[in-house]
């Protein structure tokens, strides 16, 4: 829903919800990128090794770990399987794997 279409009496509430949602999404992206790098390092893999195993570019691995690029759902599953972690842990939904 566009905020410009929200009735004035509800605008403040909707704007607050919208801004909070953006904050939560940003937090998940930061957590995912950091956990992805942590999982790779804990597994003892180099970025190049992961890229070779998954048949993707090392540049994409770098971007995933920095949060500049989001992997698709299939790649997320492959990374979790390779690193022997859960996707919930990668996204920071659970604290330990």
Span 32-54, pLDDT tens digits: 999 999 999 999 999 999 999 99
Q: Is the pLDDT of residue 25 over 80?
A: no
Domain boundaries along the sequence of the chain: 7-90
Cα(41)–Cα(21) distance, rounded to whole angstroms?
30
Q: Is the pLDDT of residue 1 over 90?
A: no
Q: Is the pLDDT of residue 67 over 60?
A: yes
pTM of the shown model? 0.75
Q: What percentage of residues in the chain have a pLDDT greater than 90?
A: 63
CA 86 to chain centre: 13
Q: Are 50 and 40 in contact (CB under 8 A)?
A: yes
CATH of 7-90, picked from 3.30.56.10, 1.10.10.10, 1.10.260.40, 1.10.3720.10, is 1.10.260.40
Which band of pLDDT confidence, cut at 50, 70 and 90, is reported for residue 80?
A: very high
């Amino acid at each position: 829903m566009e905020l410009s279409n929200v009735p004035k009496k509800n605008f403040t509430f909707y704007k607050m919800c919208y801004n909070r949602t953006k904050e939560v999404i940003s937090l998940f992206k930061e957590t995912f990128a950091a956990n992805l790098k942590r999982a790779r390092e804990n597994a003892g893999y180099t970025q190049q090794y992961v890229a070779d195993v998954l048949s993707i570019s090392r540049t994409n691995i770098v971007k995933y770990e920095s949060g500049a690029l989001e992997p698709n759902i299939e790649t997320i599953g492959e990374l979790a399987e390779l690193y022997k972690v859960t996707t919930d842990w990668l996204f920071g939904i659970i604290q330990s794997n």
